[in-house]
Amino acid sequence: MNSSSEKTKMTKTGVVFFCALICCFLWGSAFPCIKIGYGLFSIGASDSTSQIVFAGMRFTLAGILVILFGSLLQGKWLRPAKKNLLMVGKLSLVQTVGQYIFFYIGLAHTTGVKSSIIGASNVFLSIVVAVAVFHMEKLSVKKVLGCLVGFAGVVLINVSGGSLDMNLSFLGEGFIFLSAVSYAFSSALIKRYSQEENPVTLSGYQFLCGGILLTGFGLAMGGRVHVGAVSASGWLLLLYMGFISAAAYTLWGILLKYNPVARVAVFGFMNPVFGVLLSAIFLGESGQAFGLAGVAALLLVCAGIMIVNGPAGDAKVQEPEGVAER
């Protein structure tokens, strides 16, 4: 498929909806998988350094999977151009290393409810960074309204399952917010860099580099994963989690290449919704998911997505300033 036909296909509303929801479903399935994985790998709920090692193993595996399958599909070994190696390094530091170090340390110092709500701010932040920092697109009333409606759904599905207090700490809520900021910058960088480098190549090598750095950081901080005691089920779960990252981030990167950041980023509100629904199925946490609040939250998130992607919304693809279509 040439660049022009791929762009035409990946900007169709139905394709964007379908692909983005696949990504969000995969990311949502990571919530229960991570909890199950901690048990299979004997990692404590508050052992953030071992959790970082575990995440590093997952992302290293994701990078290997992307590179291998991408190479098989293209019939040649995927490798970034020498001039683009710095792009890979920057992206790995922002998207994988920074985002997940801040997330796991922050999660150890705050509640899951707060983490999910603060983490959902990455949708707003992605749009703000794209608009104010990289000047890729313009802010509109529909984008703001859609984000507010979708965010209301995220808040609703989380506060319905537990209390929400206003106690804040830099190591807790502050680090979760910095994780969201890292994610926001990674979205803009993916869109910009994918104009110069294949997004599949970017995804694979940034995961590989970032995963190795995460693993090294976690080990240096005292984290440990006793691989000799892990069952076959544990390794299969880790393989699936590597696939989650490999497939979802690669597809997300392709969507960002051809669509405005706001049009894609707003689907991120579905991540915690899918997370709650799938946790209800696999972890037995059904009270929060299938009650009235859960249904209302899903409707709000869907309404927010429809507002941003409606007929009068971001139907036209906007190229980053100063970047010609390849």
Q: What is the pLDDT of residue 314?
A: 46
- 321, pLDDT greater than 60: no
Q: What is the pLDDT of residue 315?
A: 42
Confirm if 76 and 224 have CB atoms less than 8 A apart: no
Q: What are the pLDDT digits (tens) for 47-95? A: 989 999 999 999 999 999 999 999 998 889 999 999 999 999 999 999 9
Q: Which amino acid is at 266?
A: V
Q: What is the pLDDT of residue 118?
A: 83
Distance of alpha carbon 15 from alpha carbon 239, whole angstroms: 27
Structure letter (DSSP) for residue 259: S
Q: What are the pLDDT digits (tens) for 123-152? A: 888 888 988 888 888 888 888 898 888 888
For residue 164, what pLDDT band results from cuts at 50, 70 and 90? low
Confirm if 69 and 186 have CB atoms less than 8 A apart: no
Q: What is the pLDDT of residue 20?
A: 92
Distance of alpha carbon 57 from alpha carbon 326, whole angstroms: 35
Q: What is the pLDDT of residue 319?
A: 41
User: What mean pLDDT do residues 4-15 have?
Assistant: 82
Distance of alpha carbon 53 from alpha carbon 47, whole angstroms: 10
Distance of alpha carbon 280 from alpha carbon 32, whole angstroms: 9
Which of 54-63, 162-171, 181-190, 269-278 has the lowest average pLDDT? 162-171
For residue 317, what pLDDT band results from cuts at 50, 70 and 90? very low
For residue 207, what pLDDT band results from cuts at 50, 70 and 90? very high
Q: Domains of the chain: which residue ranges?
A: 13-140+166-264
For residue 320, what pLDDT band results from cuts at 50, 70 and 90? very low
User: What mean pLDDT do residues 2-19 have?
Assistant: 81
Interhelix angle 48-74/199-220, nearest 10 degrees: 160
Distance of alpha carbon 303 from alpha carbon 297, whole angstroms: 10
Q: Rounded to two decimals, what is the model's pTM?
A: 0.81
- 213, pLDDT greater than 90: yes
CA 195 to chain centre: 20
Q: What are phi and psi of 78, to 5 degrees?
A: -75, 130
Confirm if 169 and 110 have CB atoms less than 8 A apart: yes
Q: What are the pLDDT digits (tens) for 267-313? A: 888 887 787 777 777 766 555 555 677 678 778 888 888 888 776 54
Q: Where are the alpha helices (DSSP H) in the chain?
A: 3-10, 13-40, 48-74, 85-91, 99-107, 112-119, 122-128, 141-159, 175-193, 199-220, 232-258, 261-265, 270-283, 286-289, 292-309
Q: Which amino acid is at 239?
A: L
Q: What is the pLDDT of residue 318?
A: 44
Burial class (CB in 10 A: 0-12, 13-18, 19+), 216: middle
User: What mean pLDDT do residues 17-30 have?
Assistant: 90
- 120, pLDDT greater than 50: yes
Q: What is the pLDDT of residue 158?
A: 67
Q: What are phi and psi of 222, to 5 degrees?
A: 100, 5
What tokens were used for 270?
């579905």
Structure letter (DSSP) for residue 140: -
Structure letter (DSSP) for residue 162: S
Burial class (CB in 10 A: 0-12, 13-18, 19+), 320: middle
